[in-house]
């Protein structure tokens, strides 16, 4: 039974790395946000808008509990998932947790270039975004840092950089998965 949970701030590369890591390890891949969107037939932004963050976090916790029973899988969580309820405990008990740690300036650059709609950062300038991320990270880091593995990520803009990141993460995971 292999279950790997990737956690970190939005834009840290959880989904990008997760897909490639799953393929490399011959595991399935689940993006928790996609799982929720498919189950509820609504976007995360729509769920936030219609039901609010509190209700979304309850939905997210139920979905996390559900996917944490699937075997041989890499699961990419939403950035806030580890910070609510007992979600970190659920993940740490169910498998290996890996925090992809990225500096706020790099996260801001990635998020500014992203085509995704992210409800928490919509309409912010790069300077506002860096300040927001820095503040948000200071609130979330205690949850993120309770991961079993902490991987500090640098640039991941080219296919080669992504490949090297996946290789380094695999090396970190080898000890935990054996």
Structural domain that includes position 137: 3-173
Read off the pLDDT of residues 96-137 as tens digits, 9 standing for 90 and up. 999 999 999 999 998 988 766 676 787 888 999 999 999 999
Judge whether 166 lies within some domain: yes
Q: What is the CATH number of the domain that holds 71?
A: 3.40.50.300
Read off the pLDDT of residues 53-110 as tens digits, 9 standing for 90 and up. 999 999 999 999 999 999 999 999 999 999 999 999 999 999 999 999 999 999 999 8
Judge whether 91 lies within some domain: yes
Judge whether 143 lies within some domain: yes
Average of per-residue pLDDT across 12-34: 97
Asked if residues 101 and 6 have their Cβ atoms less than 8 Å apart, the reply is no
Return the pLDDT at 39: 97
């Amino acid at each position: 039974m292999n279950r790997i949970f990737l956690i970190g701030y939005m834009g840290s590369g959880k989904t990008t790395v997760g897909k490639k890591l799953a393929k490399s390890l011959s595991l399935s891949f689940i993006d928790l946000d996609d799982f929720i969107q498919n189950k509820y037939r609504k976007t995360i932004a729509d769920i936030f808008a219609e039901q609010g963050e509190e209700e979304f976090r309850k939905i997210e916790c139920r979905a996390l509990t559900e996917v944490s029973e699937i075997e041989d899988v890499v699961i990419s969580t939403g950035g806030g998932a580890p910070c609510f309820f007992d979600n970190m405990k659920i993940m740490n008990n169910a498998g290996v947790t890996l925090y992809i740690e990225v500096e706020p300036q790099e996260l801001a650059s990635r998020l500014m270039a992203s085509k995704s709609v992210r409800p928490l950062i919509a309409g912010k300038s790069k300077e506002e975004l860096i300040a927001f991320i820095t503040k948000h990270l200071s609130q979330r880091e205690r949850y993120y840092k309770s991961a079993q593995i902490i991987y500090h990520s640098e640039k991941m803009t080219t296919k080669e950089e992504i490949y090297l990141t996946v290789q380094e993460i695999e090396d970190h995971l080898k000890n935990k998965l054996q």
